[in-house]
Amino acid sequence: MNNFSYTKANSVDEVVSLTHTNENNKIIAGGTNIIDLMKYFVTEADTLIDINPIDGIAEITELDNGGIRIGALMTNADTAYHPIIEEKYPILSKAILAGASAQIRNMATNGGNLLQRTRCYYFYDINTPCNKRVPGSGCSAMKGYNRIHAILGHSENCIAVFPSDMCVALAALGAVVHISGTDGDRTLKFSDFHRLPEDTPEIDNNLKKGEIITGIELPEKGFSKNYSYLKLRDRSSYSFALVSVATGLELENGIIKEARIALGGVSHKPWRVKEAEDFLTDKEANPENFAAAADIILEGAVGFEHNSFKINLAKKAIVRNCMMALDPASQRPGAKPSL
């Protein structure tokens, strides 16, 4: 780890001014990702700016439009167990609790979750070429061990996936990210927040220099009656998703009025395909229709030597998760899924 200074910031403006003047001044929130990256020499900082003393961005606020705003500094644990999240947005609670461990969720913040970096093994190993870490150096995963890598939206420069669980639910819910920077405050639709690697895989998202995330807004509709989050991974706990699916359905007498399906573990950003959701509208909620929607979602999927299995796995996961969403009680520990 390189030498660095440490300072505490008391306001959003203070953070913006410190990060804008020097790109090597980095924010620390829970520290569960940035400290690892510094220890592995993947990233370095001149100054770590601790944003924990900032007031007003660690709570949930109910909005006049019926939605809520979740503070960026609120921990993943406090968010998942908050009564409003459990009742109105259970899909978010479930996705957060599928991630990491209780200890990590107690430290990890919501802003940090959106900005965590990929878990590609080569990204963390500074002795190997990696375009995301050192642009132009090559991609070791392309012909290396790529079991956990992308099947959708990858480029010839990078096949990494974005590893968050929480963000898969936020994508399905249609969240909005609240941001502050030198030009004031702005919002970004969740679908526009993370980006695909294209030929600049070193850039994970559309946050600009010096900007800080202050909150995440959720619309009123939380799909609390028919929802499910399914995470498939190599170990049953404390492991990142090979494939995950967040589903929210609005049903009327077994007919789908609105569908939301987002995938995790398959791309550089949470993967949502509007055409598949439109296809399901006004159709019967059954495995055949969910399988047809899965085919639309996975159109163009391409695997590599060690991860082609993910295409079939994703298809089955989508169908199974949509069926589980018909009966959220089936998600209780020990309960059998409906398919």
Q: Are 133 and 202 contacting, i.e. CB atoms less than 8 angstroms apart?
A: yes
Q: What element of type H or E holds 182?
A: none
Q: Select 122 or 124, whichever has its Cβ closest to ligand FAD.
A: 124
* Interface size with ligand SF4, residues (CB under 6 A): 14
For position 164 contacting ligand FAD by CB under 6 A, the verdict is: yes
Chain centroid to CA 207: 15
Beta bridge partner(s), residue 300: none
- CA 151 from centre of chain: 16
Q: How far is CA 229 from CA 166, 180, 192, 267, 278, in A?
A: 10, 31, 22, 17, 20
Q: Interface with ligand FAD includes 115 (CB under 6 A)?
A: yes
CB of 113: closest distance to ligand FAD in angstroms? Answer: 3
Determine if 120 is a binding residue for ligand SF4 (CB under 6 A): yes
Instruction: Find the binding residues for ligand FAD in span 9-48 (CB under 6 A).
Output: 26-34
Per-residue binding string, ligand SF4, 139-178, x by CB under 6 A, is xxx----------------xxx------------------
**28: partner contacted, choices ligand FAD, ligand SF4, none (Cβ within 5-8 A by kind):** ligand FAD
Q: 1 burial class (0-12, 13-18, 19+ CB within 10 angstroms)?
A: exposed
Q: Is 227 in the site for ligand SF4 (CB under 6 A)?
A: no
CB of 289 vs ligand FAD, minimal distance in Å = 29
Asked if 183 contacts 328 with a C-beta cutoff of 8 angstroms, the reply is no
What are the two backbone dihedrals, phi and then psi, of residue 203, each rounded to the nearest 5 degrees? -100, 115
Return the number of other C-beta atoms located less than 10 Å from residue 112's C-beta: 23
Q: How far is the CB of 264 from ligand SF4 (least distance, A)?
A: 16
Does 246 sit near ligand FAD (CB under 6 A)? no
Rule CB under 6 A: which residues touch ligand SF4? 118, 120, 122-123, 130-132, 139-141, 158-160, 201
Rule CB under 6 A: which residues touch ligand FAD? 26-34, 72, 76, 99-100, 104, 107-109, 111-113, 115-116, 163-166, 212-213, 240
